[in-house]
Amino acid sequence: MIQYGFVYIRMILSIYILCLYAEEKTQENFDRKTEESLCDYTKGKWVRDHKGPLYNGSSCGTIKDGQNCLRHGRPDSGYLYWKWKPNQCDIPRFDANRFLDLMRDKHLAFIGDSMARNQLESLICLLSTVSTPDLVYRNGEDNKFRRWRFESHNVTVSVYWSPFLVAGLEKSGKLDHNVLHVDRVNERWGNDLERFDTVVVSVGHWFLHPAVYYESGSVLGCHSCEASNCTEIGFFDIFRKAIRTTLKAVARNRREVILTTFSPSHFEGRPWDSLGACNMTEPYEEGKVLEGLDLEMRRIEMEEVASVREAKGAEVRLEALDVTAISVLRPDGHPGPYMYEFPFKNGVPERVHNDCLHWCLPGPVDTWNEIMIEMLRRWRV
């Protein structure tokens, strides 16, 4: 009987110890998740990083010429040696193997305008450092529709040109304004939606152009247009409708959805064809705040993400990749005149075209993907 008593006591002690361990691990996980939830990636500063980028402009072969700044003769390289440091946490250096492991057997699609393409090409270059992508599909002017396969992890990455996300027509020689149907998504990517596991949407700047807007087959109004019988209504409300229509469409079937917020330009009040329109070589100090267009576009996106997430609840993984505030601090990261190859080889012209909107690759946009991998990691826990 005494022997059985000792066995019983040992069993009770073992159970007690296991309970203590489980409680400790639960608290550890809770503390870690709480720490992550408290970490605001949008608050921080750019700090010097001697390591520099993981790739160069000639190593991956997917960069659009206009963003391949060093190859086009940009003389300074200091813009490559900065890292975003949040106040409450650290963002690990991009780990391509980790990203591919997180996306194993999945299809990731970037949908949007040239900023979506900018982020997509950064990601392809980062992943190319460990696995060779196979370009399995391309179509459209300027390869606006492409698909890559990373056979090592059975990962597919696609990009779909859709500057409004919703259905519409882009202005052309016969049409001096854009046409948008804000109540339905663009069929080009909408028809492929069921093939995607994770979707990254990114638009904004095309909404500033003249356009006529339709909803349920009727004209809503227009922006900066001379169309007859059409009321000027601006574009902010239209942008909101387009984001809402898109998020509702993609946030189905437990799909993962990431909205990359509005990317600011840095023309600094100068015309796009003036010398020195964006010639900064270092980031702004921390005191630079969001205002005007940048602030309003981001606000609309954040509100729509919160609204759809609240409506869908646990049915969807939906998050904003909030890059607006961190990117407004990087006026040094644009191609400027180096959107063209060696723009000053024949001297300094009176006028020179500048790209103060897109980002050099490598460049600040690589940080967006460093933050995105942390979002995916949290979803996989």
Q: In the chain, what are the domain boundaries? A: 1-38, 46-380
Does residue 114 carry a catalytic annotation? yes
pTM for the model: 0.89
Q: How far is CA 243 from CA 117, 166, 250, in A?
A: 18, 8, 11
Q: Which position among 113, 332, 355, 366 bears the catalytic label?
A: 355
The reported pLDDT for the residue numbered 228 is 66
Q: Are 195 and 253 spatial neighbours (Cβ–Cβ below 8 Å)?
A: no
The reported pLDDT for the residue numbered 328 is 96
**Tokens 């519409």 sit on residue:** 168
Q: Which position among 72, 223, 266, 358 bears the catalytic label?
A: 358
Q: Are 230 and 219 spatial neighbours (Cβ–Cβ below 8 Å)?
A: yes
Percent of the chain that is helix, strand, coil (3-state, to 5): 40, 20, 40
Nearest Cα neighbor of 320 from 257, 249, 241 is 257
Q: Please list the residues that pair with 232 across neighbouring strands.
A: 222
Nearest Cα neighbor of 215 from 187, 184, 190, 247 is 184
Rounded to whole angstroms, the Cα distance separating 340 from 352 reads 10
The reported pLDDT for the residue numbered 11 is 53
Q: Please list the residues that pair with 178 across neighbouring strands.
A: 211
User: Following DSSP, what letter does each residue of 111-154 receive, concatenated?
Assistant: EESHHHHHHHHHHHHHHTTTS--EEEEEESGGG-EEEEEETTTT
The reported pLDDT for the residue numbered 276 is 84
The reported pLDDT for the residue numbered 24 is 47
Q: Which position among 113, 114, 128, 294 bears the catalytic label?
A: 114
**Which stretches in the chain have pLDDT values below 50?**
1-2, 4, 6-9, 13, 15-18, 20-36
- Give the dihedral sign, CA 277/283/284/290: positive
Q: Tell me the percentage of the chain whose pLDDT exceeds 70.
A: 90
Does residue 358 carry a catalytic annotation? yes
Q: In the chain, what's the furthest Cα-to-Cα distance?
A: 102
Does residue 355 carry a catalytic annotation? yes
The reported pLDDT for the residue numbered 255 is 85
